[in-house]
Each structure stands twice: as structure tokens, then as C-alpha cells.
Structure 1
Amino acid sequence: MNMIKKIKIKLTILLLGNKKKYKNINLKDVKTVLLSPKDALGDTLISFSHARQLRKMYPYAKIGIVSTIRNKNFIKLINQKEKVFDEIVDRKKIIRHRKKWDLLLDFKDQINTKRLIWTKILKPKIIISFGKDKAGHYFSRKNIKIYDFVTAPPEKAHIVDYLMYSEFSKYFNIEKEIPKLELNGFEVSKMVKNWNLKRRKIKILLAPQGNDRCIKIEELAKFLNDINFENVKFIMSKTSGSEKYFEKLTSLLKSNIDISLSKAFSIEEYVNFLASSDIVVGVDSGSVHIACALKKPVLSFYANNEANLYRWSPVPNKNVDSLQIISNIAGTQNDLYDFPMEDAVKWLNIEINKIYGQSER
């Protein structure tokens, strides 16, 4: 690191890395709470579980969530029925909210200059951090002193339970809140036409790709070829790069498998389309977590990474069938290959027969 960069870092820490600490903090006195999650769909969905916990702690408080272009419409969709959040705060218009929040819950991991400036402008009274530092980075929660409390959940804690390991636990009895999602039934029914069914079939949504990960195409093809697919319609969700993935996948499939690639949906359309499916098969991604929240049977494929499994495994409803398949090979959270597919085939065939049998009654 050169001298100029070192000087910039020191100046940043001096100007932005400190804040006034309130003495004798009593978290029972909080009147306004703002959540700032990562803007991925899974993180956004989990923030609603946190907000439900906060609502039980603070029944009369104003609870808000920070939004970006990426997750704003998803927040509105989830919030339209239950009204968990009282206010959706545009991250780019934070100046309007300066000094208006008693408590900020910051779930972002890496600290950077833009985030420090943003927090300085917002100027909440109290900040609780739930993020994790990147090893070796020049900003950390040791030299950045803007946090009143830094939460370090156990390594085996799921992210949905983070509040239960925080400063809140000293003041409140916090109950677990699994993700849930209620949609407009009419909007969901409108999406059934996108399955293009000529006769009754089990609708299976495939989500084999995440933001930075995907299941190995050859493994997925073998898995699908082994399924009892006579009464099944597969649709693969369309994401960045999905056309090439789908083209290679279909070249390896039996010719009589009924499969297609979805059209490009808005986030609202995609969630309603997912809700119109009977079963969801996907990798560690927002689709799997949304499916669990919608109480859909879910077959999920996860890398054999202990930290990620503890933090981000699916949280299904206890009354809904689900199976998590974990890679045989330990690695990073993106190493999605070498799965025990015989377990996945068996589970999905049983689920298909169960749902098809129920629909015949």
C-alpha cells in the first residue's frame, strides 16, 4: 500500500470512522428502527422475519427498511398485504432521513468509504452491526468506531436468528420467525398461462443458477433424465446467461422431456410465477428461500460449505415437504457439483406422484 493511500485511509477513519456514543442506552426506549440489509432477494426476505420480531418488541414503533433499485419492488410486493414495514427508505435519498432514526440495524458486511459517508449523513442515534469483516481489509469494526454494538452470532447460527444473539436479547424474549410470504391469489392465477399446459401436469420450476453459482449442467441433465417426467412440465427460470446454460442442458436431455425456458419477468411477475408452480428445484438462491416462504415443496442443492450451510440453509415450513441435497465435496459456497443425485431423484419422484395423485381426486 503506497503512502497516499495510507493517508486517505487515516483521514477517512478520522472524519467518518467515529460517532457520538449515547450513554446509558436502553433499547426498550426506541421509537424508530431502520433495517439496512444486503439487497439480494434472500437477504431482503429475511429482513421481514427480523421486522416481525421487532414489531413484537416495539408494537408502537416506526419500522423502516432501506431499499435499492434491485430490491425496492420486491419489498413492496412482500409488504403489500402484511404491512410489516411502515416506511421504505430509498438508499439514494437518505438526506431526507437525517437524524430521524433512533436505531439502525446494519447487516452489510464489508465497510467502505461510501457506506461510511451514507451512515454519517443518516446520523442515527444508535447503530447495531451484524456484518462480518473481510480478513486483511483496511477498514474493520476494530478501527471504525461508529457502532454502538457489534453482534457476533455463533458460527452455527442461521441469519434468520441473528436478532436472538444480539443486544436485543438482554431486553426481550425473542421468538424465531421463519420467512413467510402472502401474495394476491388473482395475480398468481394469471401466471398459470405461462406454463402453456395442454393437459394436466405437475409444474416444476427449475432455478439451477444463482447470482454467482450454478449446478453443473451434466449433473442436472442426468438428474432430470432419471425423473418420472411423463406428467411433468419443467420451466427453467431465465437469468443472466441462462440461454447458453439452457441450450447445453436440453442437448443432454431425453427428447420427450417437456421443458422450456421462461420469459424474462419483472421481480413481481417472477415471484407470482414461482407461486404458480407445484414444486421448486433450485440451488442456494433467492428462489429457494422465496419458495420456502410460499410453503412450496422445495428440492434444494447446496455446496458443502459449513459456514454457508449454517447461515443460509432453507427454512421450510414444518408441514411442507422439502429436501436439501449437499455436495459430497467440501469447498466454497459456489462449488455446486458431485451431488448424491439418487436421493434427489427418489424424493422428487415421490413428490410428483403425491401431488399428481391429489390432483386426480
Structure 2
Amino acid sequence: MQKDNVRRYFGIALFDRRKEVGVCLGSCPVLFIRWDAKLGDSIVSSWVARELKKCNPEREVWVVTSPSMKDFYKNEFLFDRVLTIKKRPSYRALKILCEEIGCVDYVVHFGKRLKMKDLFFLSRLKTNNIIGLDDKIKLINIKLGGESEKLHFVEKFKLALNKMGVEHPDSSYIVPKNPSTISKLKKKLKLRWPEDKLILCFNPFGSGSSRKMSVDLSVSLINEMLNKSDANIVLLCADDMKSEAQKITHMVSDVQRLYLYDEQSSLDTLVALMELSSGVISVDTATVHIASGLNKPLLGIYNNNPGNYSEWHPNSSMASVIFSSETFVEDVNLLSVEIFGKEFSSWYKNFFR
């Protein structure tokens, strides 16, 4: 942390200068910096290009993102141009990227505390306006940090679009769906459960150790759901958690009512399983945001971190939330099985009975 502070200090000293007004003339694109965005973050901002182009069809909307997210931004989220850069790029790579970008009218960079390389990159860009959350930085001439403090990231992006002339953007998420994957999994689920019963998706594995449930707790929560409902349950997990998930499938009270997808996981399969379900229970925020985009009844499990929650809570009127504990210790394994059972029963009765 101290090294980061020192680098930021030098970054501000070396690169933080106010931009000249009118550097780029004529109709120039809008550029979003999303190189750190993972799946959940990307779903939350999936609508921005659509709404900018709805307001001004002639305006191009570009994005810088990671190579793994390129196809989503290009094919699903309607960006006109997608530039990619690897994690932890060199200064040379950032300089080349700036040259490749050329002139842009607006840059949107929502890093809350910009690092030295962020400052170098922004200082090299040819742009009229930089919209950001780090109000201490001179390069950022449209400062939204204080104005958007404690607002959900959807609202932060809405404010950015307001500054670009989009008054009432529709912030409904774009969730990529693959019809053939949905059809394939529908057949699989029908073979597993021929009778027409309610299906719930459960994801006990979030990113980071503080949001990953233990096998034992996962089993206990699944048993609560099986006991307190007549639903069947699909267990969601990424490939790196498959071994833990397989243990869970052998330990629950009614193995016939639990299903784990046995092939390689992908975004297509995740979305398809959720689309085919009636509701979602999850500790994983990407799953939470996808469920919100699909308008599914949702029971989200969050650690008790008010700052994080205010910015990343489920953006859905069909969502309920349980906090893992009343303390600010971030560990989903502190969640009480008894409290979960009560909250699940209430949620289930509200939506399905």
C-alpha cells in the first residue's frame, strides 16, 4: 500500500496537468476505460453504448478492456470499437494504445483512486473531457466522485451520460443469451427432472476467499432449501470450483433434487441455467447482476460492507439480501444457517407460493 501511495504521488507530480480546451474538434468518439472490468462489472455498464447511440446515432462509442472481455463488448454490448490491453501493461504499451486511439471527445474512467499508470495514460490521450471519480486529479475536468458518493455504479454511469447530454438513459442490463445453449440445457434438465417442478439456481462461490462458502456450509444451506421448498436446485460454479461442487452433490440430503452441470462451464451455460430457472440464490456478484438483468427473483448473500454494498447491491426490485453477519468481518462463512433458513422461507413464499 505504501508503494502504491509513493507511485501515485510521483504520478501526480509527473503527469497530472489540466487538459487544454478544444484539443479534439468535430465529431469524436466517447471512450470508456474498462480494462479492470470483470463479468459482473461489465454487465452493470452493458447498456451505456446503447443509450449513447440512441441519443446520437452518429456518435461512436469505444472501450478499452481486457482480451477476455473483447467479444462481449463488441458482439453483445454494442460498442463500435473494442481495444484491448493486457493486465499490468508497460508504459510503452500504454503509449502505443494512446496513439492507436487518437482523438476522443469524452473519456470515462471510473477508477476511484487512480494509479501512476492510469495518470500516465490519461495524460497522453488526446481528449476534450475526462469524466472520473477521483476528484483530486486535475486531468479529470468532470468530477463525479463527491457527486456520486455512495450511489450504485449504475447511477454513477447515468451521471456520466447526463454530462454527455443523455438525460434519461434506460439502464436495463444487456445479458448475452445463446438460444442453442438454452435449448441444449433445457433437454438435459428435462432428462434429470421429467416432472414439471420449480428450479432454483444456487451459487455458493464468489470471487475471493471472503466470498467463497465452505463445502459444509453450502451443504447445510442446500438442505435448508430442499426442506423448506419443493424446488429442485441447480448448483452453479466456475471450473476451478468443480471439485468442491462435486463433493457437495454427494453430501446433500436428497441428491436427486440437486444438479451440477458436468461439462466445461462458460458464460453461455451460466446464463442458460439461470434463464431456465425460476429464481437465483447467490454469493457471487456476477451471478447477482446477471439475475437482475434476467429479472429473476433473487436472494443475494453479501458480506456486511456498507460501502461496497451501496455501489454493487442487486439493481432489481425482485431482489432480497442477507448479510453474512452483523459485524464488519468479511466472511460469508459467518452466515447463520438458521437465519438463512428463515430468510429463504420468506423469500420463497413471497415469490413462489
TM-score bin, normalised by smaller chain: 0.7 to 0.9
AA paired with 1:343? K
Matches within 5 A, 1:72-151: 72-76=70-74, 78-79=76-77, 83=78, 85-91=79-85, 94-95=97-98, 97-130=100-133, 142=136, 144-151=137-144
CA distance in 2, matches of 1:172, 1:353: 38
Go from structure 1 to structure 2 and tell me whether the alpha carbon gap of 1:337 and 1:242 turns closer, same or farther (over 3 Å shift). Answer: same
Q: Are the counterparts in 1 of residues 24 and 103 from structure 2 also a CA contact under 8 Å?
A: no
Code of the aligned partner of 1:327: S
Find the partner of 2:43 among 42, 45, 55: 45
- The separation in 2 between residues aligned to 1:206 and 1:95, in whole angstroms, is 43
1:33 aligns to 2:30 (yes or no): yes
Corresponding position of 2:280? 280
Shift of 1:53: 4.1
The Cα shift of 1:154 comes to 4.0
TM-score under structure 2 length normalisation: 0.77
CA contact (8 A) 2:204 2:282 kept: yes
Q: Deviations over 1:111-168 (max 9, x none)?
A: 233333443454333211135xxxxxxxxx63x5322222114443111011444594
Give SS of 2:245's match.
Answer: helix
List aligned pairs for 1:308-319, cutoff 5 A.
308-316=308-316, 318=317
Answer whether contact 1:282 1:301 (CA < 8 A) is retained: yes
Supply the distance in 1 between the matched residues of 2:352 and 2:162 (Cα, whole angstroms).
46
**Out of 171, 180, 185, which is 1:177 matched to?**
171
Deviates more, 1:105-114 or 1:169-178: 169-178
Alpha-carbon shift at residue 107 of structure 1 (Å): 1.7
- Give, in whole Å, the separation in 2 of the partners of 1:78 and 1:347: 36
How far does residue 217 in structure 1 lie from its aligned partner after superposition? 4.4
**Contact 2:205–2:237 (Cα < 8 Å) also in 1:** no
In structure 1, what is the equivalent of residue 192 of structure 2?
197
RMSD over aligned CA atoms reads 3.7
Structure 2 distance, partners of 1:54, 1:333, is 37
Q: Distance in 2 between matches of 1:181 and 1:145?
A: 36
Moved more, 58-67 or 116-125: 116-125
Secondary structure of the residue aligned to 2:200 is strand
Equivalence for 2:257: 258
- Does structure 2 retain, via aligned residues, the 8 Å contact 1:234–1:260? yes
Name 1:299's counterpart in structure 2. 299
TM-score by length of 1: 0.76
- Amino acid across the alignment from 2:172: I
Instruction: Tell me the residue number matched to 1:342.
Output: 341
Q: Distance in 2 between matches of 1:332 and 1:174?
A: 38
* Percent identity (aligned): 21
Residue 312 of structure 1: how far off its partner (Å): 0.9
Contact 1:40 1:70 in 2 (8 A): no
CA contact (8 A) 1:328 1:338 kept: yes
Mean Cα displacement is larger for which, 233-242 or 302-311?
233-242
The code of the aligned residue for 1:17 comes to D
Separation in structure 1 between the aligned mates of residue 267 and residue 178 of structure 2, nearest angstrom: 15
Does the aligned pair in 2 maintain the 1:158–1:311 contact within 8 Å? yes
Structure 2 residue ranges without an equivalent (≥5): 87-95
